[in-house]
Amino acid sequence: MEVHVQLKTADGSVAGSLGYESAVSRALKEAGLKLYPRYPGTQDSRQGTLFRVPVDDQADADRALELLRSTDGVERAEIAAT
């Protein structure tokens, strides 16, 4: 199970989302969770804003969603469809 995350872009570029990525990653780490790119190494500006957060169960997914939705820089967060 995982939560999918889309970060905002500060200026419409992949580089523009890096500051948000650091802040979101830091907040998740403090909660015992980790942020991974959905498309590692991409040069596509949209794909570069897409991440995933692996979770063990629904409780962790709900906790991740609550945290992500309250963190600056997150455009969207949702439980991934299986």
DSSP string, 4-55: EEEE--SSSSTGGGHHHHHHHHHHHHHTT---EESSTT---TTGGGEEEEE-
**CATH 3.30.70 for domain 2-79:** yes
Going residue by residue through the chain (82 aa), what tens digit of pLDDT does each one get?
999 999 987 655 555 556 688 889 999 999 999 999 999 998 888 898 899 999 999 999 999 999 999 998 899 999 997 6
Closest by CA position to 2, among listed 60, 68, 50: 60
Q: Where are the domains of the chain?
A: 2-79
Residue 52 token pair? 């995933």
What is the per-residue pLDDT for 40? 93
pTM: 0.86
Residue 21 token pair? 């990525």
Helix (H) or strand (E) holding 80: none
